[in-house]
Amino acid sequence: MNEIHLHNTLTNRLEPLSPLHPGEVRIYTCGPTVYAFAHIGNFRTFVFQDILRRFLRYRGYRVLQVMNVTDVDDRIIQNAAAAGIGIRDYTEKYIQAFLEDTDALHIELPEELVRATDHIEDMVTLIERLQKKSLTYTSDGSIYFRISQFPAYGKLSKIDVAGMQAGARVDVDQYEKDDARDFALWKAPKPGEHFWDTRIGPGRPGWHIECSAMAMKYLGDTLDIHTGGVDLAFPHHENEIAQSEAATGHPFVRLWLHAEHLILEGQKMSKSLGNFYTLRDLFAKGHKPSTIRYLLLSVPYRRQLNFTEDGLTQARNSVERLRNFTARLKSAQFAEGSNPEIQARIEKAEADFDAGLADDINTAIALAAIFDLVRDVNTAMDRGTFRQQDAPRAVAAMEKFDGILALLADDDEEKLRKLGFGTSKPGLSVSQIETMIEERQAAKKRRDFKRSDEIRQQLADSGILLEDTKDGAIRWKRK
């Protein structure tokens, strides 16, 4: 097995993964800010980290992943106030929505999904540590990190901080800072705003401190991997490094992984352009969760993904091919025995799949390994060289792959229904479908094609597609 290599933004190089604690990989992922529904760009990143964690476990690692939920920030405070409710009540809806969305996409929950507002004390403690080291200053009740005290600032994003003149840019917010580069650790409350009364004064945490405090609380001073979208590298992750390393004196993160952005039909996704999609928008347009997951994972994470209507069609058809193949393996009849060549072929596919993912989570290679196998095995089945005992072995391989890709389960309808989408008419039950198929077979046998076609049409109207196969078996699937 190939050693796992991942691209580290810090060094701009592929580096081998060697966890600090043998056998366990500790990951921190920047999660959602729950002021609205997450958009599909967010899910590109979340699907990526899902593939990563699934692959690490496939390789036998224990995974300890922490994902934050930012449930306090300027927008949340404003929106909650506008709605006349507390921030906890305001964010609850979007946290639930996030959980539902991730479930629909088969994104596994991290071991720890933690809310910022449950960790105010940890943030206060971390800020105090920085204060003791004289790395902060207070201005109008807000506490800032003094970047000039952290010479390594900029090492992640390679941004030329010296060139950032104080005041050269529009002031970020209404707070007074000594230097434009400095960032808020703690923000003094504005009149009427939600705040916490703490040892460092009344206020609320800045955005960056949240991730440092929670990451180190659960994962230790040094994490193996930190993931997020490319846009977070600066300033968010840069600031995380500054705070954390200044406080502990240890390296904060060994491997920084950044997922490239998704663009929509060639354009940046933005509300003003009107091309801003949430998962639910796509479901409402009739797209399946598995289609979206496939499209999001089919492009390797460091490459921009152009999300298009055309791409969705291609993704849907690709998922179909994988599912059809698996269904054929499970239902078709084969001659007794086994074929050593098939066994070897399956092993090669497994090795290729694994090698692809080990190479910086190259999902395109991993998928190609599967599709190559699909074609070769289909050919063998057509030629009759595929044997009965090869089938369970091939099914096992597909399931192994799917432990990471999570595309094969035909549960799109179920997932959509949970979210209130999909067909309003109740779907036929499996037994109803099977009864109708039997009836159609009987009609065909007595050459009553009018009746058999009628049943076929009825099923089609209910979204059930029949496949008359060569060996006489009937397969069906939901459209």
Contact present, 363 and 300 (Cβ < 8 Å): yes
Supply the minimum distance, in Å, between the C-beta of residue 263 and RNA.
5
The C-alpha atoms of residue 81 and residue 199 are separated, in whole angstroms, by 25
In the bound state with RNA, the residue whose beta carbon lies nearer, of 19 and 136, is 136
In the bound state with RNA, the residue whose beta carbon lies nearer, of 191 and 249, is 191
In the bound state with RNA, the residue whose beta carbon lies nearer, of 137 and 234, is 234
In the bound state with RNA, the residue whose beta carbon lies nearer, of 121 and 467, is 467
Supply the minimum distance, in Å, between the C-beta of residue 218 and RNA.
19
In the bound state with RNA, the residue whose beta carbon lies nearer, of 19 and 361, is 361
Supply the minimum distance, in Å, between the C-beta of residue 83 and RNA.
18
Residues with Cβ within 8 Å of residue 140, at least 6 apart in sequence: 175, 176, 188
Supply the minimum distance, in Å, between the C-beta of residue 184 and RNA.
5
Give residue for tokens 């008419």.
425
Q: Please, what's the b/e burial string for 169-189 (b: 16 or more CB within 10 A of its CB; e: otherwise)?
A: eeeeeebebebbbbbbbbbbb
Residue 35 structure tokens: 């002021």
Supply the minimum distance, in Å, between the C-beta of residue 422 and RNA.
20
Supply the minimum distance, in Å, between the C-beta of residue 18 and RNA.
21
Residue 226, Ramachandran bin (φ over 0: left; ψ between -120 and 50: alpha; else beta) = beta
In the bound state with RNA, the residue whose beta carbon lies nearer, of 74 and 411, is 74
The C-alpha atoms of residue 362 and residue 318 are separated, in whole angstroms, by 17
The C-alpha atoms of residue 268 and residue 275 are separated, in whole angstroms, by 8
Q: In whole angstroms, how far apart are CA 367 and each of 37, 297, 347, 363, 394?
A: 30, 10, 15, 6, 16
Tell me, what DSSP letter sits at residue 109? P
In the bound state with RNA, the residue whose beta carbon lies nearer, of 112 and 231, is 231
Supply the minimum distance, in Å, between the C-beta of residue 383 and RNA.
9
In the bound state with RNA, the residue whose beta carbon lies nearer, of 12 and 429, is 12
Beta bridge partners of 64: 26
Supply the minimum distance, in Å, between the C-beta of residue 229 and RNA.
1
Supply the minimum distance, in Å, between the C-beta of residue 61 and RNA.
22
In the bound state with RNA, the residue whose beta carbon lies nearer, of 19 and 41, is 41
Contact present, 238 and 211 (Cβ < 8 Å): no
Residue 478: exposure state from Cβ atoms within 10 A (0-12, 13-18, ≥19): middle
The C-alpha atoms of residue 46 and residue 111 are separated, in whole angstroms, by 14
Residue 92 structure tokens: 């609850």
Contact present, 69 and 116 (Cβ < 8 Å): yes
